[in-house]
């Protein structure tokens, strides 16, 4: 498995995954349908918005439906000859801090039919040097406390637990864990 930049040759696999019920956003059930609509409307624009280092793209819709300004960031797609999932990275220029509405620097999701193959672990491993190139000393990732698979991915990449907390109500209020990985 390797990470690829979102591109037209990979887009049919991405669309197929969305049509099968997978979503790159585990907080908003509507996200897969929104993505499919955006792709149908303008696939080239959709692909270009997957890499937005200047935060020029459309606002981000939070789970409660409110919108917030986009942070600089990008998505990489997991690829093993087929689409496997995505990993996204976002940051705030000049600081490791994130605004309160952004719970972590990295989010990842593997399609159900490719899970338990180490793909998320590998994707995060491949992303870490790129995150370091943005000048960050560390990244933070959060996961629900009962998400053992995500905890293992983060810990396998050097993640150290720094906080137990409850997500804001807009994110479901679940008991969660914040990890830090030094870059």
Per the structure, the count of domains in the chain is 1
Cβ neighbours around 148 below 10 Å, total:
10
Residue 164, domain extent:
2-182
**Residue 130, domain CATH:** 3.40.630.30
How many Cβ atoms sit within 10 Å of the Cβ of residue 174?
A: 14
* pLDDT digit string, tens, across residues 55-100: 998 888 777 778 899 999 999 999 999 999 999 999 999 899 999 8
- Pairing, β 51-52 against β 73-79: antiparallel
Q: By C-alpha distance, which of 93, 89, 91 is closest to 108?
A: 89
Tell me, what's the pLDDT at 28?
72
pLDDT band at 121 (very low <50, low <70, confident <90, very high): very high
Q: Is it the case that residue 171 has pLDDT exceeding 90?
A: no
pTM of the prediction? 0.93
Task: Report the pLDDT value the prediction gives residue 119, as an integer from 0 to 100.
Answer: 98
Q: Are 162 and 171 in contact (CB under 8 A)?
A: no
């Amino acid at each position: 498995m390797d990470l690829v930049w979102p591109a037209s040759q990979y887009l049919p696999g991405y669309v197929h995954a969305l049509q099968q019920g997978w979503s790159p956003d585990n907080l908003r059930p509507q996200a897969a349908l929104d993505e499919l609509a955006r792709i149908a409307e303008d696939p080239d624009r959709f692909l270009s918005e997957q890499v937005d280092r200047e935060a020029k793209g459309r606002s981000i819709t939070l789970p409660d439906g409110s919108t917030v300004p986009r942070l600089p960031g990008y998505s990489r797609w997991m690829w093993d000859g087929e689409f496997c999932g995505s990993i996204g990275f976002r940051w705030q220029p000049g600081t490791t801090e994130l605004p309160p509405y952004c719970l972590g620097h990295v989010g990842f999701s593997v399609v159900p039919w490719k899970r338990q193959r180490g793909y998320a672990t590998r994707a995060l491993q491949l992303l870490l040097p790129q995150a370091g190139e943005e000048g960050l000393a560390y990244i933070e990732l959060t996961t629900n406390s009962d998400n053992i698979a995500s905890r293992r991915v983060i810990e396998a990449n050097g993640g150290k637990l720094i906080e137990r907390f409850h997500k804001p109500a807009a994110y479901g209020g679940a008991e969660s864990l914040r990890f830090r990985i030094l870059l």
